[in-house]
Amino acid sequence: MKFFSARRRNIGAPAVNIYERQLFSTYTPDLTLIAISTTFQLTRCRLRPWREGDEDTLSYYASNRLIWNNVRDFFPYPYTPRDAHSWVRSNKSYQQPNNFAVEIDGKAVGNIGFTVKDDIYRYNAEIGYWLGEPFWGQGIMSEAVPVLTQYIFENFQVNRVFACVLEGNRGSMRVLESAGFYPEAVLRQAAVKNNQYLDEHIFAMTKADYLTRRNG
């Protein structure tokens, strides 16, 4: 295909430009915290919480310029073992995680997650994901994005889920469209990456959209 060290830099997504530093804060009172499953066995992969032992494959697959080209600049590049240890340490303890390892053949090869916004946007959740290059084009994120979207809408007080994609990342746009996200807007030259101005494409799904899709 082709959706953090003492520096707490973030793991973003070649698919989606997300993962803000607020991922490290606790959930807001608007979130409904209940006992829910946090492991999802899919056809092509498994989504599960991050855990000790994931660091080696995390740093191996995340340290890729092609991934970094499609995420926000605080995604580390090169992605060092120190970055990997910090990320796992920061995420393994959440009872209701908002970041999930994408596991294939027992190895963590990517991440998919979300962050709930605040203030007047507090019922919005931004999703993001990235996947190791050897696994692109296999439909893995096309499976994972609908599962994460369902997880958010069914378990948290969120009315809108959205994703931001840099221009040129057609693979991620197709993933989101196939998951039922609407192409809402194009923010012209809103982002700067590699010292170039880039358009940012906004895709979103409301709770009403989700319920209509779920109920057929």
- Of all residues in the chain, the percent with pLDDT exceeding 70 is 81
Can you give the pLDDT at residue 92? 84
**Domain assignment of residue 6, yes or no:** no
**Domain assignment of residue 10, yes or no:** no
Q: Find out whether 67 and 1 touch, Cβ atoms under 8 Å.
A: no
**Domain assignment of residue 3, yes or no:** no
Can you give the pLDDT at residue 37? 62
What are 127-157's pLDDT values in tens digits? Answer: 999 999 999 999 999 999 999 999 999 999 9
- Where residue 56 sits, what CATH number does that domain have? 3.40.630.30
Of 10 and 144, which is predicted with more confidence? 144
Mean pLDDT on 57-80: 98
Can you give the pLDDT at residue 36? 52
**Domain assignment of residue 2, yes or no:** no
Please tell me the distance from the alpha carbon of residue 187 to that of residue 199, in angstroms, as a whole number.
6
**Domain assignment of residue 4, yes or no:** no
- Structure-token pair, residue 185: 């807007």
Domain residues for the domain of 135 are 21-215
Can you give the pLDDT at residue 12? 37
Can you give the pLDDT at residue 173? 98
- Strands of the sheet containing 160-166, edge to edge, are 40-41, 46-48, 99-104, 107-116, 124-131, 160-166, 196-206, 182-193
Mean pLDDT on 47-54: 97
Please tell me the distance from the alpha carbon of residue 201 to that of residue 193, in angstroms, as a whole number.
14
- Taking the CA atoms of the chain, what radius of gyration do you get in angstroms? 16
DSSP sequence for 136-157? TTSSHHHHHHHHHHHHHHHHS-
Average pLDDT, the chain: 87
**Domain assignment of residue 8, yes or no:** no
Instruction: Kindly state the helix (H) or strand (E) to which residue 48 belongs, with its residue range.
Output: strand 46-48
pLDDT band with cut points at 50, 70 and 90 for residue 201: very high
**Domain assignment of residue 97, yes or no:** yes
Asked if pLDDT for residue 3 goes beyond 80, the answer is no
pLDDT band with cut points at 50, 70 and 90 for residue 197: very high
Please tell me the distance from the alpha carbon of residue 191 to that of residue 196, in angstroms, as a whole number.
8
Structural domain tally of the chain?
1
What are 15-44's pLDDT values in tens digits? Answer: 444 333 233 223 333 434 333 568 999 999
Can you give the pLDDT at residue 111? 98
User: Is the sign of the CA dihedral 92, 90, 53, 68 positive or negative?
Assistant: positive
CA-closest candidate to residue 168, choices 143, 142, 193 = 193
**Residue that is written with structure tokens 């190791």 in the block:** 132
Can you give the pLDDT at residue 31? 39
**Domain assignment of residue 161, yes or no:** yes
